[in-house]
Structure formats: C-alpha cells, structure tokens
Structure 1
Amino acid sequence: MASPKVSIIWLNYNSSKTINMVLKSLESIANTEYPQDRYELIVVDNGSNDGSFEKIKDFLEKNVGFKRKVIKLEHNLGFTGGNNIGFKARDKDSKYVLLLNNDAVLFQDGLKTLVEHAENYTDVAGLQGVVLKYGTSFIDIAGGFIDELLGSYGLGSGYEYPWILSKPLQITYADGSCALYKVESLMKCLGNKLFIDEFFGYYDDTVLGLMMWNCGYESIMIPEPVASHARGLTFGKKRGSTSHYLGVRNRIALSLITNSRYRRLILLFAFRNSAYTIIKMGFKREAHIEARGIYDGFKLGKRLREKEFFIDLHKALLIEIPFERIPSFFTTRGYSRKYFEEWVIRNISNLSIE
C-alpha cells in the first residue's frame, strides 16, 4: 500500500543571518526517508527583502527529486497567515500536512515515524514527536499543555531525552515547530485554514489544539525524536520585543474568547505586570510594549467575539489549578513550571494511550 501523501509547509522571513540553519532545514526535507513521490514541499516566503528568498530558491533548484511549490508574498503575514496560504496551496490528495519551522531540522526517519503513528489513531487530528534542542540530546518540546490561567507549557523542555517519556501521551496541542495534522479533521473543524490570521504568531498552535479538542479531535505526542530545533531564530534580533508583545496580546485575546473561571484574574495580573514594568523602568520601550499588548489584546478579543468565536476550555485537555494555589502562580518565581511538571508526573498514567 502506498504511503499517504503529505504536504510540508515551510515558512521563511528575512533569514539571511541564519541562512546556514535554514538551508539545513531544507536539506533535511530533501533527505527524508519518506517516498519522494508521496510528499511535497510548500515554501511560503513572507515578503523577505534581505536576499534569503533568492538563496532558498537557488538551493531548491539544485535539489531536484521531490515536488515543491514556492510562494512569494508581498507582505509578512506571520506564522498564521503564511501557514494558511500554504495550507490552501496543498495538493488536494494530501492526507496530512506537516508544519516545520525553518530553524528546525527533520530527522531522516522523522516524517515516516509521524505518519506511521498517525495512521493508527482515528480520533487524533494533531500529532508530534519529541523535538530536541538542536545539536543536543535535550528536549526542546514534546507537546504543549495549557492551564486555567492560559499559561502554556512545553512537555519535557530542558530535560535530557527520554526523561519520563516512554508511551504516547495526550497533549493539549502540538507545537508548531514540527507538527503533523490530518487534513480531513482540519477541514471538518476549521474549514480551509489552520489558524486565526490575526494572531500572527504565538498562541497560534495553542488555539488550534483547543479548537480541535472542541471539535472532538485529540492531539497526542509520540515518545520518539523526529526533529531538532534551534528555537529562537525565527524573529531574529527583534525576538524579545516581538514575542513579548504577541504573547501578551494573544493571551489577553484568548481570555476573552474562552470560559476560564480565572479570566478576570488573567486580566488583572496583566494590568499589574504592566504597572510594575512602568514603575520599574518608566515609560521606556518595554513598558510601552506591555501596555500596547494589553490594549491590542482587548481589541482583538472583542473582534473575535463579534464573530461569535468561542472556545470551551473544558472540552480540551486542561491543567486545572485549585484556587488556593493561585497566589503562588503570581508571587513565587518558577512556581508555574514546578506545578506543571508535578502535574504531568502525577497524571502521566491517565495521559498515556495505547
């Protein structure tokens, strides 16, 4: 029986300063063990103007043997918009789409491993393997979870593989650095797109996972390494300010379209953090970013609510937080991470699937 067709969606934006890593990512796709006639590469360039797009095109022209589509956008549509464009351009016979960051390297048997596992589960729409930190045996991420305060956590992050990972586990969402999705499930749940365009980046894969759970589809991780990731290269030098702004904005927006019992606390502490930043740093760049993220988050959340966009958190795999533990999340450094790891260890048998 022929292997299922897969469309690999791969984005680029002004990556000239990390072009060696970017080309390694493309090379890993070209060298995958998956049958060449059963996968395609869809490159979406988000309006690059630093010469990286030309170098990528040159690399692809020299590496023939697999189908590829190259799309050059005029403007940067972000992770969400770029992937949505790529998803619409997929081969209509593709059963799966793989999202792969351009700072992630696919292991030679990575795609084959993901697809073989995905074929065994009917109610699973999103799937990821263990993604290692580039050049190490330490885990970058093995799946994502979200809690009632809308904090997100990467499973196994920072631990040496295999840590406690020995069986497939349910997760809230598959991390967008290397994630496999079933096209049929996406189409039934979301229509002909992957993400909310307005999110641009950050919390995008979280929201996708929550939406899939709301449609009755699970996300899982498999305990096998499938890729490595040099996390942090995507946004370049502006990563700190851009990621912070998007993280604040999208978390506020998400709080307005979900039913977390702690929604008001999420908003309250966002204001507290903003006030603290202003007091500590004055009206400098960092404080401006924080305040703008909150303001724009309210606007985005309101627009989504007007579109009747709603996510029921309780239909998804959610880390519940007892009320008496809430103060520690905001007063004790590192407490949220500690709570999450203890929660995983305590619940790992319940999360395990055959």
Structure 2
Amino acid sequence: MQSKVTIVIPNYNGKKYMDDCLRSLGKQTMKAPVIIVDNGSEDGSVDAVKEMASKKPGRYPKLKFLELHENTGFANAVNVGIKAADSEYVILLNNDTVCEERMTEKLVRAIESQKKVFSVGAKMLSMKNPDVIDDAGDLYCALGWAFSPARDKNSKSYSKRCAVTTACAGAAIYRKYVFEQIGYFDEVHFCYLEDVDVGYRARIYGYKNLMEPSAIVYHAGSGTSGSRYNKFKEELTASNNLYFIYKNMPVLQLIFNLPLLIIGVIIKQVYFARKGLGMSYAKGLLMGIKKIIKHSDRKVPFSPGNLGNYFILEAELLVNCIRRLAG
C-alpha cells in the first residue's frame, strides 16, 4: 500500500544524531517511509545507519538512501528527496531532531484541513531545554527580516494552530504537487532562508502556511553550522536575504519598501558589528549582490492574477514590522 506521506531527511555528518532521530520515527502512530539524502558526509553516517538497521531491523521505519558525492547544500538535498518521494505529502526533517509519536499524524491532519495549505510546520522545542520553543513558524517583515516570534518563549505558549509567513523546513509537511507550480527549493540559497523563500513564493501564488502546535519535535539546533551566530551563517543569511528580496518582490513593491529595507540593513550591520560579525554581514551583502546579478533570471514573474496576494503579503510585512520591533 502506497504511503500518504514520505519523510525526507537531509544529512551531512550527522552520525551522532541519526539513531535517536530514526528511532523516534519508528515509533510514529502513522507509519511513513524515510528517504535519507546524504550530502557527501565524511563521518560514515550512512554506513552506521545501515549497520544499526541490519542489527535491529524493527528499530527504524522503512529506509531508502540517496547518496550525493559532495555537500550540495540543504536546498538541493531536499529537492532530491522530494522528487524521489512517491506520496501526496512530504515531511522535511532535520537529522538532529527527535519526534513525539504523533508528529506525522498531526502534520498530515493539519495539511488536510484546508486544500489551499501548502505547508505546516511542527512546534519545535529545544532538546536541551524542552520548556523553551526553538521554532513555531517564521514571519517576514518589511525591514527585510525573517524571524521566529516564538523562539525562546515558554513551550506552553503558541498552543493554537496559526497562520505563518512560512514553515520552518527543519520539521514541516508540504503538499508535493504545489512544487511543480511554484518551483522547488532554490539551490542558490545553499542553506538558510531557502524555506522562507519557498514558503513566501507559495503565498504569492495564493497558498497558506500554518504551524501545528500538537506536532512536537525536539531540536538539538545548529547541528551542522555550530552555533546560532557564526561567520558562515551570517554571510550566507545576509546574501540569501538580499537575493530573496530581489527575487520575490516586484519592482513597485521594492520601491515602496526601500526606506524600511535600508533601515533594516543598517540595524543589522550595527547589531552584528557589536557581536564581532560586522565584516561577515557586510561580506554577505556583497555576495547577495553577486547572486542577484548572476541569477537575475530566477525572479518570480509578476502575474496580475496574483495582485491580491501581493497586497495581502505587503500588509503582513508592515504589520510584522510592528510585531518584530515590539519584541
């Protein structure tokens, strides 16, 4: 019997996390096959999982391995997994996670609640401190900032299903056929903000993104990049954000938001300078300009049929500015 949903796990040197992650998936109330897309790991991740699965075959769900020869980035890895999935829905899951038993079931029920839902994110809690939220859906504002309003809040908050700008791809379900309409994750991002980009793109086309609080996932966090703030992350995030703004906003929307976007860049530059990452952020902006020039053909084409969606998004961008600055 064909499964309704497939779980896709991109992996890069995640050997120390994989056993706990896969065992939690083996206990799910709704069973789903798992595709592990290995991004050229050098720590023996795939061999270790295969060995553990052979010793205790009932420990894990049904596994399929897709091995890439080098680290192609998160976006490409999940695209490979999504395209290989033979199911109506796909759940993207970070390797440094542990899922509560009803996670799959809850995400499927949530995405089936409305036909125009593209994605539903799980409520991600800190693995080190489960009383704290790691992510419960992301918002984007006219300052050019993506942010998770629930981050570091008490785990009992954000207890109702809600609409978000975009789901965090660290633990989220997607309606597979929509990718054929809006495009897949953009490999230009490599990693960081690729989920914001695809979620925002879906919004342009009139789809919704939700957060489902009853789908609980525990997240170790920074399993690959190392910490919440580091040079690699800030360079890529700054460059990807600039590219994201160019790609997804029509010219008139860019002009309208330009004063706020400039203010947003200045505030970020000062913020990261105080953290000793000012040069990394500035370098990232230059990288972003280069990405725009190189990949200008990837700009989302404006369609008059989506005009109403642009107005709705713009209103949200402005409201989210107030929400972000209010803390």
Q: 1:28 to 1:256 in 2, by over 3 A?
A: same
CA distance, structure 2, for counterparts of residue 216 and residue 251 of structure 1? 22
Contact 2:241-2:288 at 8 Å conserved across structures: yes
Which residue is 1:330 aligned to? none
Contact 1:4-1:96 at 8 Å conserved across structures: no
SS in structure 2 at match of 1:228:
strand
SS in structure 2 at match of 1:294:
helix
Which residue is 1:263 aligned to? 258
Out of 210-219 and 304-313, give the one that drifted further. Answer: 304-313
Could you tell me the TM-score, scaled by structure 1's length?
A: 0.78
Aligned length: 313
Could you tell me the TM-score, scaled by structure 2's length?
A: 0.84
CA distance, structure 2, for counterparts of residue 48 and residue 63 of structure 1? 23
> Of residues 20, 29, 48 in structure 2, which corresponds to 1:24?
20
Matches within 5 A, 1:86-97: 86-91=81-86, 94-97=87-90
Unpaired runs of at least 5, structure 2 = 303-308
> Of residues 106, 116, 124 in structure 2, which corresponds to 1:113?
106
Which residue is 2:217 aligned to? 227
Which residue is 1:198 aligned to? 188
SS in structure 1 at match of 2:33:
strand
Q: 1:231 to 1:51 in 2, by over 3 A?
A: same
Q: 1:272 to 1:184 in 2, by over 3 A?
A: closer
CA distance, structure 1, for counterparts of residue 75 and residue 194 of structure 2? 7
Q: 1:269 to 1:173 in 2, by over 3 A?
A: closer
User: Does residue 300 of structure 1 match 2:262?
Assistant: no
Amino acid at match of 1:205: D
Offset at residue 265 of structure 1 (A)? 4.9
Q: 1:53 to 1:120 in 2, by over 3 A?
A: same
User: Does residue 98 of structure 1 match 2:91?
Assistant: yes
CA distance, structure 2, for counterparts of residue 275 and residue 130 of structure 1? 31
Root mean square deviation of aligned Cα:
3.0
Which residue is 1:350 aligned to? none
Q: 1:223 to 1:274 in 2, by over 3 A?
A: closer
Which residue is 1:34 aligned to? 30
SS in structure 2 at match of 1:117:
helix
Matches within 5 A, 1:247-262: 247-257=237-247, 258=249, 259-260=253-254, 261-262=256-257
CA deviations on 1:245-302 (whole Å, 9 max, x unpaired) are: 1111111112222234333553576478659978997xxxx45533331111011123
CA distance, structure 2, for counterparts of residue 116 and residue 338 of structure 1? 34
Amino acid at match of 2:239: R
Which residue is 1:349 aligned to? none
Which residue is 1:14 aligned to? 13
CA distance, structure 2, for counterparts of residue 239 and residue 48 of structure 1? 23
CA distance, structure 2, for counterparts of residue 230 and residue 318 of structure 1? 34
Offset at residue 15 of structure 1 (A)? 2.7
Offset at residue 113 of structure 1 (A)? 1.1
CA distance, structure 1, for counterparts of residue 166 and residue 267 of structure 2? 29
CA distance, structure 1, for counterparts of residue 11 and residue 50 of structure 2? 11
Which residue is 1:351 aligned to? none
Q: Percent identity?
A: 25
Contact 2:3-2:33 at 8 Å conserved across structures: no
Unpaired runs of at least 5, structure 1 = 327-334, 342-354
Amino acid at match of 1:227: V
Which residue is 1:139 aligned to? 133
